Amino acid sequence: MMNVESLKTGQMTGTDAEACAYLMTVSLTQPMDSDWTEIYLNVAGKTYSRHKQGGLPEDIRVESLRDDQVRDLDRLKAWLYRQRTTIRLERDRADRRERKEADMAEKEALQPVLFEF
């Protein structure tokens, strides 16, 4: 759904669910400051309500973000999207390279050797 919205605006970014998953794993590895904690709680609340998992408790729910927090979240989503597309392109290149090498090896195996040196 967010990718369809991104197509309308012209800027492809990561989704709220991706940002939520990334921030959850980051929070397990290192402490986050209050801004990133609010961003995480905001995105988690949106993600949970979108996937019908129930809502966050009222005492930790964050309904809105400040402008600087929105910019940080947008930068994170853009970075996540770039990482995802870069990895996908690298995998595609590696697959094509492997297929090409396999085809060349098969051709060499089928082609008779005319001269032995």
Over the stretch 15-37, which tens digit does the pLDDT of each residue have? 899 999 999 999 999 999 999 99
Decide if 41 is inside a domain.
yes
Which pTM does this prediction carry? 0.73
Under DSSP, is residue 115 helix (H, G, I), strand (E, B) or coil? coil
Decide if 38 is inside a domain.
yes
In the numeric block, which tokens belong to residue 28?
């397990």
Decide if 11 is inside a domain.
yes
Domain boundaries, position 38: 2-109
95 φ, ψ to 5°? -65, -45
Check whether 104 has a pLDDT greater than 70. yes
State the average pLDDT over residues 49-75: 87
- Under the banding of pLDDT at 50, 70 and 90, the label for residue 86 is very high
Number of domains in the chain: 1
Decide if 58 is inside a domain.
yes
Decide if 13 is inside a domain.
yes
Task: Say how far residue 24 (Cα) sits from the centre of its chain.
Answer: 14
